């Protein structure tokens, strides 16, 4: 993407050019140009920001309303009309109360366990398999690649009943291991890692080979550090996928003590639907860690969209 934000001073500033200084002085005010290099008129800029703020209200507003509801005390009317957007006396009361109604911190811990396990298995499994598909010559490599491509074409929703009976026959239904297993090495992640390894030049690994490095050393010391970016994408999307997943844990977990946060929230909503303050507190607990993660690691989230969009 070309940078369209330029000051006229920058544009005419050439080393040794006699007019540079005058141009700098007169071009102090920042101006904006569009794709064709024409100046954006002020009213157009104002309109643009108004639209941006409107969309911002639509996308962030609902989260803020939920936060506000969760901070409203038991005596405050949450149904008032016109609505009051800020709590009169902000309190964390509801966060304590939601823990009395459902073991919300246990559920959060369950979600964390599932998400961390999924990150570890996906990173290890897809890096190993991706390396094998990209770098190692062996009979059946094409078949192995095909297995992952075929797996990518099968929508999880259409095999969920069979996954459930499989877990039952392994006696893993109602366990967190059962929640993790079906997604523990995603086919998409394997193919992403394969592409990342294919993009590495052979020469570096050959140098190590000449120096006597074996395949594990080449994988761990040379190839893997070079694909850190893709590995981070895999890790983040594995975490988000596991933390946010709903349908599969809902099916495989029957015992309320094993629930993950999403299933627990659904349970809270079904049982205590009348108390919106509690539900609001629960949803904030569920969404806060991911928003924090997103705030810190944005570029990997965006990068993952581009790479993951190949998914069918």
Give the footprint of another protein on residues 259-288 (CB under 8 A): 261-262, 265-266, 269-270, 276, 279-280, 282-283, 286-287
Among 88, 206, 221, 228, the residue binding another protein under the rule CB under 8 A is 206
Token duo for residue 267 = 């349970």
Residue closer to another protein by CB (options 99, 248) is 248
Residue closer to another protein by CB (options 99, 194) is 194
Among 19, 22, 26, 165, the residue binding another protein under the rule CB under 8 A is 165
Q: Which residues contact 53 (CB under 8 A, 6 or more apart)?
A: none
Exposure pattern of 122-160 as b/e (b: 16+ CB <10 Å)?
A: bbebbbebbbbbbbeeeeeeeeebeebeeebeeeeeeee
Q: Dihedrals φ, ψ of 5, to 5°?
A: -95, 110
Residue closer to another protein by CB (options 9, 282) is 282
Residue closer to another protein by CB (options 24, 269) is 269
From the list 16-24, 86-94, 125-133, 227-235, the region that binds another protein by CB under 8 A is 125-133
> Does residue 142 touch another protein according to CB under 8 A?
no
Of residues 34-93, those binding another protein (CB under 8 A):
34-38, 40, 45, 48-49, 51-52, 55-56, 58-60, 62-63, 65-66, 69, 79-83
> Does residue 94 touch another protein according to CB under 8 A?
no
Among 5, 16, 75, 171, the residue binding another protein under the rule CB under 8 A is 5
> Does residue 4 touch another protein according to CB under 8 A?
yes
Would residue 89 be called left, alpha or beta, if left means φ above 0 and alpha means ψ between -120 and 50 degrees?
beta
Q: How far is the CB of 100 from another protein (least distance, A)?
A: 19
One character per residue 101-120, x = contact with another protein (rule: CB under 8 A): --------------------
From the list 13-21, 88-96, 124-132, 227-235, the region that binds another protein by CB under 8 A is 124-132
Residue closer to another protein by CB (options 110, 283) is 283
Q: How far is the CB of 18 from another protein (least distance, A)?
A: 30
Among 24, 73, 90, 294, the residue binding another protein under the rule CB under 8 A is 294
Residue closer to another protein by CB (options 40, 92) is 40
CA 239 to CA 119: how far, in whole Å? Answer: 6
> Does residue 211 touch another protein according to CB under 8 A?
no
Q: Which residues pair with 5 in a beta bridge?
A: 32
Among 23, 128, 224, 232, the residue binding another protein under the rule CB under 8 A is 128
Q: Which residues contact 94 (CB under 8 A, 6 or more apart)?
A: 70, 71, 72, 277, 278, 280, 281
From the list 13-21, 94-102, 132-140, 227-235, the region that binds another protein by CB under 8 A is 132-140
Query: 253, 180 in Cβ contact below 8 A?
Result: no
Q: Which residues contact 194 (CB under 8 A, 6 or more apart)?
A: 129, 130, 131, 133, 134, 145
> Does residue 212 touch another protein according to CB under 8 A?
no
């Amino acid at each position: 993407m070309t940078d369209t934000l330029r000051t006229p001073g920058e544009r005419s500033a050439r080393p040794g050019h006699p007019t540079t200084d005058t141009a700098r002085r007169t071009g102090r005010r920042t101006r904006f140009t569009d794709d064709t290099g024409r100046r954006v008129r002020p009213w157009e800029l104002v309109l643009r920001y108004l639209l941006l703020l409107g969309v911002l209200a639509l996308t962030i507003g609902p989260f803020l309303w939920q936060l506000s509801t969760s901070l409203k005390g038991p005596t405050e009317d949450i149904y008032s009309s016109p609505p009051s957007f800020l709590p009169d006396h902000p309190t964390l009361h509801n966060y304590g109360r939601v823990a009395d109604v459902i073991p919300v911190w246990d559920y959060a811990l369950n979600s964390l366990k599932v998400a961390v396990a999924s990150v570890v298995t996906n990173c290890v499994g897809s890096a190993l398999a991706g390396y094998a598909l990209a770098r190692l010559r062996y009979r059946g490599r094409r078949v192995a690649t095909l297995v992952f491509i075929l797996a990518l074409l099968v929508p999880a929703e259409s095999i969920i009943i069979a996954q459930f009976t499989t877990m039952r026959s392994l006696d893993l239904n109602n366990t967190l291991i059962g929640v993790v297993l079906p997604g523990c090495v995603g086919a998409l992640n394997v193919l992403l890692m394969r592409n990342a390894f294919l993009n590495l030049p052979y020469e570096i690994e050959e140098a190590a080979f000449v120096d006597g490095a074996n395949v594990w050393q080449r994988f761990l010391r040379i190839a893997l550090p070079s694909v850190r970016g893709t590995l981070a994408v895999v890790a983040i999307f594995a975490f988000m996928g596991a933390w946010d997943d709903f349908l599969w844990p809902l099916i495989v977990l029957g015992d309320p003590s094993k629930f993950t946060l999403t299933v627990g929230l659904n349970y809270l909503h079904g049982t205590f639907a009348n108390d919106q303050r509690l539900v609001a507190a629960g949803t904030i607990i569920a969404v806060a860690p991911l928003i924090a993660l997103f705030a810190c690691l944005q570029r990997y989230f965006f990068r993952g969209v581009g790479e993951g969009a190949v998914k069918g």
